[in-house]
């Protein structure tokens, strides 16, 4: 079937099997190598994209579900202010990643900064746990996000929230 959607701000159209995974489409048809197609079960989180503004596992999204939707991958996310804020936060905290899950971690962090409500501690931990990351240091990653949330709110971060 023909799938028309918006990808990283541009209108795109392609023919695909209705059940073809969005993760495979993005990697193979559009060459978007940032996301990794690994567990194919919504477990590892390395394939996350924003689908109509929500952080989702693209391996769980079949092609037919993106018709008329807006998809943003890491390649599109990189040109946003939120990406800059996340990068700054991770850099300032000295966070290091292995090169495989970075994109997903950044996008998970970005979804927190972009959420309408200020994320609480539970939200931060739950959202950052979306990505199964074997390489980063938990306190540094979470500390960086807390700092970014604080910077965005312009005030002191209240861990009791």
Partner 1 sequence: MRVDEVAAPQTVAEALAILKRRPDAVPWAGGTLLMTVESAAFGDKPASLLDLGGIAELTVINRSDRYLELGACVSLSAILALPRSLSLEPLRGAAGLVGTASVRNLATIGGNVAARGSFMTCFSALACMDAAMEIRDASGSRWSSIHTLVDEDGRPRFPRAALLTRIRVPTAPWDAASVHPLGMAPRGEAYPATFAAAARFEKETISELRLLAAGKRLVRDRALELSLVGKRLPLSAKDVDAARSAARDEAIEAELGAGPASLYGTYVASFLASIQEEGR
Partner 2 sequence: MKSSRASSIPAIARLSDFPLADAVYVGTVRSPASRGRITSISLPHLPRDYRSITADDIPGSSLMVAHGASVPVLASGRVSYRGEPVALIVGPDRRKVAEALALTKVRVEEEEADFSFEACGSRRLVATGRLDSGDVDKAMATAARVVEGDYRVGPQDHYYSEPQGSAAAFDYDKLVVFSSTQWPYRVRAAVAEALGVKKEEVIVRPTLLGSHLDGKLWYPSLLACHAAVAAFLSSRPALLLLSRAEDFLYTTKRAPMLASYRAGLDEAGRLVALDSRIMINTGAYAPFAEDIVRRAARAAVGGYACPDVRVVARAVRTDLPPMGAFVGLGTGPATFAAERLAEDCAAAAEVDPDRWRAENVAEKGDRTLGPPLRRSVPFDAVADRLLAISDYGRKRSSFELIRKRRPDPSIPAGYGIGLAFGPQLPATAFGRDGASVPSVEATLSKDSILTIRASVYPGSRSAAEIWKESAAAALGLQAKAVRILAPSTDTAPDSGPGSLSRNVTVVTRLVQSACEGLAAKRFREALPITVRKAQRARSSRAAPESPLDDASWGGAVVELELDPVIGTPVVRGVWIVVKAGRILSRKAAAATIEHDAAAALGLCVGERLDLSGGPADLEDLRRYRLPRIKDAPAIVVEFIDDDAPPCGIGELSYALVPPAFANALSQALDARSNSMPLGGASEGR
Q: What are the residues binding partner 2 (CB under 8 A)? A: 27-28, 33, 36, 38-40, 44, 94, 96, 98-101, 125-126, 128-129, 132-142
Among residues 113, 102, 98, 104, the alpha carbon closest in space to that of 145 is found at 113
Name the minimum Å distance from CB 68 to partner 2.
Answer: 27
CA 89 to chain CA mean position, Å: 16
The helix or strand, by DSSP H or E, that contains position 14, with its residue range, turns out to be strand 10-15
The helix or strand, by DSSP H or E, that contains position 23, with its residue range, turns out to be helix 22-24
| Binding characters for partner 1, 64-93, by CB under 8 A (x = yes) | xx-xx-------------------------
Among residues 133, 131, 129, 132, the alpha carbon closest in space to that of 119 is found at 129
Binding partner at 91 among partner 2, partner 1, none, C-beta below 5 to 8 Å by kind: none
* Overall size of the chain counted in residues: 161
Nearer to partner 2, 1 or 98 (CB): 98
Q: What does the binding site for partner 1 look like in residue numbers (CB under 8 A)?
A: 1, 17-19, 21, 41-43, 45, 48, 54-57, 59-62, 64-65, 67-68, 108, 117, 123, 126-127, 129-130
């Amino acid at each position: 079937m023909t799938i028309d959607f918006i990808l990283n701000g541009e209108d795109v159209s392609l023919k695909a099997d209705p059940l073809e995974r969005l993760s495979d489409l993005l990697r193979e048809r559009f060459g978007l190598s940032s996301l990794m197609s690994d567990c194919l079960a919504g477990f590892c989180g390395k394939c996350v994209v924003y689908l109509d503004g929500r952080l989702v596992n693209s391996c769980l999204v079949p092609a037919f579900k993106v018709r008329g939707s807006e998809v943003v991958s890491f390649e599109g996310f990189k040109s946003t202010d939120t990406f800059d804020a996340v990068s700054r936060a991770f850099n300032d905290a000295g966070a290091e990643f292995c090169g495989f899950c970075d994109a997903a971690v950044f996008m998970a962090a970005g979804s927190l900064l972009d959420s309408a409500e200020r994320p609480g501690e539970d939200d931060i931990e739950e959202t950052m746990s979306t990505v199964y990351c074997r390489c980063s240091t938990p306190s540094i990653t979470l500390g960086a996000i807390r700092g970014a949330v604080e910077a965005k709110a312009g005030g002191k971060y209240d861990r009791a929230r």
